[in-house]
Structures are given as structure tokens and as C-alpha cells.
Amino acid sequence: MDRLRKPEVLLALGVIMLGIVALYETAEIPVSPMYAQVGPTLVAYIASGLLIALGLALLAQAWRGIWTSPPEETEAGFDLRAVGWLLLGLVLNIGLIGPLGFIPASVLLFACTARAFGSRRPGRDALIGLGFAAVAYFGFAQLLGINIGEGDLVVSLLEGLI
């Protein structure tokens, strides 16, 4: 089945799936016997039902070839390596911002993103990222007293030293 491999078809199926998950989750919402004339599920049912219906319509369009990507999209290709670097940066950021703190996590995110966009000098990128993160951290966070993460690991290490 060649049609099944068309990205538009897959996306439409994804929309339908999302609608079904939402529908299932809506059915799970407890409806307490209450004063409220309209409960918490009505709009949730409408929205998830709508998503399924729209997904089916999209599927029909994609299947019949009415909905296709413009050639500049399909010909542009997909730069797997660049996206890989970007995703690595995002994952590192999520994983390290807690234990290491905002600045180190941001430097890695910055350097990985720069790599994804074709930069070949990670050292220079990291330095620029450090400057930017430090300005953001000390300028905004410390000035306003907002804690955007000193890093739990760093804090406990310092605590251990004392």
C-alpha cells in the first residue's frame, strides 16, 4: 500500500488517534451528581469528537490526493543529522537543568543548537552560550530573585564541602 506511506495519511491518522485518546480520557472524567446543569464533560466530548471528525475528513483528502505537500516541502528533504543535534540539546537540557543548574544546561543546549544550524566551532559556540546564559541568569533571575536553578547537585556538593 503506497498510499499508507504518504506522510499526510499518517498525520491524519495521528489526528484521529489523538481524538480517540481524548475521547477515552473524557469518559474517565468523574461526573459528580451535582448542581451544575452542564458537567465537565460536554465541551470535552464536543472537542474530541470534532477532532475525530476533522481527522477523518483530512484522511479522505489525503487518501484521494487532494491534500499534498507542495513540492518545495518534499524536495527539501529532511536533515536527520541537524534534527538529531537539536533533539540531543533539548534532551540534555531537560536532564541536566535540575542537577547541574541553568547555566551549564543552557550552554549545552546553545552549542547543540548551533551545531544543528551548521556551526562547526563548538568551543566558540559554548563560550557565546555561556555569555548569553550568564547575562540572562544574573540579569533577570538574580535581580528579580527568581531561582531558575543553581543545580541541586552543585548545591549538595557545596553543602558536603562545608
Contact positions with other proteins (CB under 8 A) in 55-74:
55, 57-58, 61, 67, 69-70, 73
Residue given cell 551545531 in the structure block? 115
Q: Where in 93-112 is the site for other proteins (CB under 8 A)?
A: 93-95, 97-98, 102, 105-106, 109-111
Among 17, 27, 65, 90, binds other proteins (CB under 8 A): 90
Please, what is the minimum distance in Å from the beta carbon of residue 65 to other proteins? 14
Total interface residues for other proteins by CB under 8 A: 83
Q: Where in 7-46 is the site for other proteins (CB under 8 A)?
A: 7-8, 11, 15, 18, 22, 25-26, 29-40, 43-44
Is there binding between residue 4 and other proteins (CB under 8 A)? no
Side chain identity at 13, as an amino acid letter?
Answer: L
Question: What are the DSSP calls for 46-76, one per residue?
Answer: HHHHHHHHHHHHHHHHHHTTSS---HHHHHH
- The packing angle between helices 7-28 and 42-63, to 10°, is 160
Q: Where in 114-133 is the site for other proteins (CB under 8 A)?
A: 114-119, 125, 128-129, 132-133
* Residue-wise burial string across 39-57, b where 16 or more C-beta atoms lie within 10 A, e elsewhere: eeeeebeeebeebbeebee
